Structure 1
Amino acid sequence: MSKKPVFAILGAGNGGFVTAADLTLRGYEVRLFELAEFAATIEPILENDGIALRGIAGEGLAMPTLVSSDIEKTLDGADVILVIVPSMGHREIARVCAPYLKPEQIVVLIPGNFGGVLEFRQELLANGGTKDVTIAETTSLMFAAKKEGTNGIWARGLKQYLPLAAFPASRTDDVLAVLNEAYPQFVAVANVMETSLNNLNPIVHPAAMLTNVGFIESQRVPEWYFYKDGYTQGAGHIADQMDNERLALLTAFGLPEISATETLHRFYGHQGMNGDSLYSLFSESPVHSAALGPKSSENRMLSEDIPYGLVPYVSLAKMLGSATPMMDAAITMASVVNQTDYRKTGRTVETLGLAGMSVQQIQDFVNQ
């Protein structure tokens, strides 16, 4: 692409704020969209003439070209659409985009969690959208960031390595040819099964959420630090065991087995993140040390990471005959804690259209 790509960013949470500010300050045309029901999140940008960015991505007041709840205007003329919303919002974003997406546009879910691309494509087609649009996903958010005040965002961390794959996999290189100008840390992996099986949030977050649930629900301490205080050796042991179960699924697909510990080194080693276990990484992480703990057990670290991460992991594992006792236990505990049957509400091989397929059939489907 000879000209700079035009970016549409869908979602005005922490990830949307920081990405919109970063790209705007680096000279890209950016449109920031939020659904009308959440429009209050973008009003402070308009009232304060931009997003106030600070941290590892630089500092400045960034005013995107468009800040709106009009999806047609947001998508018109955009080259790349970055969907930076919780996984439970993927279907709704696909639905509102369906009438306006063009075949030449690129959609990237940041991240897809497990099966995000497959679910997004299902909803897009169900609502009359084009089957020719390219949809890709990453394994994680690019930034570790937190909103400040009314229109501010603090970028604590920026990954130097972030796997990406498109559906079908034959289009991944085309996506990177456009994206790498802005974010060279995006790297190609085999397909969306590899991105799905390398999302670490379902491994990392539930372990510390469940071992600290009494502390979270009692709210006796006004502020505590999720990683510095909550990531104890016990929480780390649980996460390490779930990671072993995740690695077994990668083995079944013949995909590279990269542990969570190694992946986090690749993400944040340049910022001093170091350790030989998840406990040692997180308890001393300079990137995560300021991350405050949640005040509710219904925080996304359970309400998203269980149904959109662990549930599909386990669903796939059962279909393939792979044991996941620790993941199963985490799903059961989270379901009881939050009085929600996440096995019924989450993504599964059935909802993602993978039921009954062999490993080779799944690989053929996502590679095409």
Structure 2
Amino acid sequence: MLNNLNNGSKICVIGAGNGGLAAAADLTIRGNKVTLFELPEFEHTLTDIKKIGGLYLETMESSNLLGGYANLYKITNKIEDALEESEIVLIIVPAFAHRRIAEVCAKHLKREHIVVLAPSNMGGSIEFYNSIIENGGEKDVIISEFECMMYACRKIKSDTVYIRGYKYNLGFSTFPSSQTDKVFNKVKNIYPEIIKRNNVLETGMSNCNPILHVPILLFNLSLIDNKINTLMYHEAFTNSIGNIITRLDEERCSLNNTTKDINLVSLKNVIKCWYSHQGARGTSFVEIVGKNPIYYASKLPSSLNHRYITEDVPFGLIPMLSFLKKFEGKSRNIQSLVDLVCVTTGNDYYQNARTIGTLKLEGMSKKEIISYVKNRA
């Protein structure tokens, strides 16, 4: 089992969804002082947790994480109380909530805080930083990010969360990337299996969710429309869909040919490195993902009004597409997939998506963008 490797860090977890609860419980059980914060409008989600002063964690044995009761250090909806003692701030919320969280945190974050988006999705750290500045925050604060969520998890009761997957070799970078070495070891203290990526463009483009989730849903429309109970990865993820995902991934990796500062690895290898300790095997997407033991119970959503579309398209595929076009990479199939999602759902996801333009990078050249993510200047 994974043991805590430090003397206990003071951590604030922002967000009481599946991932936030998993992090709060796991990190507490491993000996850290964890404060759990949720926005006042979602305070009701903390009711049962407040009653018992913490929450229960259940784990899949192969994750190497300990389960049990996690007695949280503090549970609050007051951001000043949440941040006042914290050293590391883990922001574990959907990408569409990043701006809202940045607004709430802006005047309370100090340069000494280590802020980590878990995950960021494409461009999240840049957007979060911009929002901090717009709301009167500290201009020298460093924003870090993971390329994906640390856990595969779900809340099974109001005071209980279940972790079935825990990622090894999870990519990490900072905005600006010149500061990665400064904070990496402090974050590695609580997540010892993380590895460095070159910059936040690399971590953002390495999130597997948009490339995996969207095609599986879009090409299983009859099952979704008829609400047929189906296993998402072990049944709905077929070889034909695997072929589509392979083409999408090749376009994602075409960014490597546009700059020496980005080195994307095939998502097959990324996922295999994350979960080989839990049984991920094979050479194709269907083998590595579709036969992964941790995904066995994952169900296909019964609606397209699901974060696998509503988050992964405007905050995953569209910003990926925006950067690929800016850097003159290949993007035809990703473009077609996004267009098809818009037609199928009747929603124009381009309207409120994260893009080069919304990140205030539109007027920069490729070279200037690379310099900006490195030095923030």
Q: Which band: TM-score by shorter chain? A: over 0.9
Q: 1:127 aligns with which of 123, 135, 153?
A: 135
Give the match for residue 288 of structure 1.
Answer: 295
Letter aligned with residue 348 of structure 1: T
User: Could you state the TM-score of these two structures normalised by the residue count of structure 1?
Assistant: 0.96
Q: How much has 1:3 moved relative to structure 2?
A: 5.7
Q: 1:180 aligns with which of 188, 202, 208?
A: 188
User: Could you tell me how far apart the structure 1 residues matched to 2:28 and 2:133 are?
Assistant: 32
Contact 2:206–2:264 under 8 Å retained in 1: no
Worse-superposed segment, 349-358 or 13-22: 349-358
Separation in structure 1 between the aligned mates of residue 338 and residue 66 of structure 2, nearest angstrom:
39
Q: Deviations over 1:208-247 (max 9, x none)?
A: 010112211221x3x3221112111122111111100000
8 A Cα contact 2:271 2:289, kept in partner:
no
Asked whether the equivalents of residues 217 and 300 of structure 2 are also in contact (C-alpha less than 8 Å), the reply is no
1:253 to 230, 253, 259: 259
Q: How many Å apart are 1:307 and its aligned residue?
A: 0.5
Deviation at 1:136, TM superposition (A): 0.5
Matched, 1:207 2:215: yes
Tell me if structure 2 keeps the 8 A contact 1:8–1:81. yes
Residue 163 (structure 1) aligned with residue 171 (structure 2): yes
Offset at 1:330? 1.3
Q: Secondary structure in 1 aligned to 2:357?
A: coil
Find the counterpart in structure 1 of residue 230 from structure 2: 224
Query: 1:47, 1:85 → 2: CA distance?
Result: 23
Please tell me whether the aligned partners of residues 261 and 275 of structure 1 are also in contact (alpha carbons under 8 angstroms). Answer: no
Match of 2:112 among 101, 104, 108: 104
CA distance in 1, matches of 2:235, 2:42: 32
Q: Secondary structure at the match of 1:332?
A: helix
Residue type of the partner of 1:24?
Answer: T
Contact 1:206/1:302 (<8 A) preserved: yes
Q: Which residue of 2 aligns with 1:297?
A: 304
Could you tell me which residue of structure 2 aligns to residue 79 of structure 1? 87
1:319/1:356 contact within 8 Å kept: no
Partner Cα separation in structure 2 for residue 176 and residue 141 of structure 1: 17
- Of 323, 326, 341, 2:330 maps to 323
Match of 1:61, SS state, is: strand
- SS of match in other structure, 2:308: helix
Report Cα offsets for 1:74-98 as digits up to 9, x if no partner.
Answer: 0111101000000000000000001
Secondary structure of the corresponding residue to residue 99 of structure 1: helix
Q: Could you tell me which of 4, 25, 49 is aligned with 1:45? A: 49
**Aligned partners of 1:282, 1:234: CA distance in 2, in Å?**
14
Give secondary structure in 1 for the equivalent of 2:303. Answer: coil
Q: Any idea what SS the aligned residue of 1:261 has?
A: helix
Residues paired across the two proteins, number: 365
Aligned to 1:262: 269
Which secondary structure state, in structure 2, belongs to the residue aligned with residue 345 of structure 1? Answer: coil
Q: Deviations over 1:81-139 (max 9, x none)?
A: 00000000000000000111111111000011000000000110000010111110110
Does 2:342 match 1:335? Answer: yes
Q: CA deviation at 1:41?
A: 1.8
For 2:3, the equivalent position in structure 1 comes to: none
Whole-Å Cα distance in 1 between the matches of residues 243 and 47 of structure 2? 43
- Write the deviation string for residues 316-367 of structure 1: whole angstroms up to 9, x where unpaired: 2222332312111111121122222111211111011221322221111111
Partners of 1:161 and 1:213 lie apart in 2 by: 34
State the distance in 2 between where 1:97 and 1:266 align.
34
Deviation string, structure 1 residues 266-320 (Cα, Å, up to 9, x no partner): 1001111012111222221111111122121011111101100110111122223
Aligned CA RMSD, in angstroms, stands at 1.4
Question: What whole-Å deviation, never above 9, does each CA across 1:190-211 have from its counterpart, x for those lacking one?
Answer: 1111111111111111010101
Letter paired with 2:47: E
Could you tell me which residue of structure 1 aligns to residue 314 of structure 2? 307
**Equivalent residue, structure 1, for 2:279:** 272
- What's 2:199 paired with? 191
Name the SS of the counterpart of 2:143 in structure 1: strand
Unaligned stretches of 5+ in structure 1?
none
Q: For structure 1, which segment, 351-360 or 67-76, has the greater mean C-alpha deviation from structure 2 after superposition?
A: 351-360
Q: Secondary structure at the match of 1:156?
A: strand
- What residue identity is the alignment partner of 2:66? G
CA–CA distance in structure 1, aligned partners of residues 345 and 213 of structure 2: 15
Residue of structure 2 in register with 1:117 after alignment: 125
Counterpart residue identity of residue 172, structure 2? L
**Mapped partners of 1:180, 1:149: distance in 2:** 30
Partner of 1:23: 27
Contact kept, 8 Å, 1:247 with 1:258, in 2: the verdict is yes
8 Å CA contact 2:326–2:366 kept in 1: the answer is no
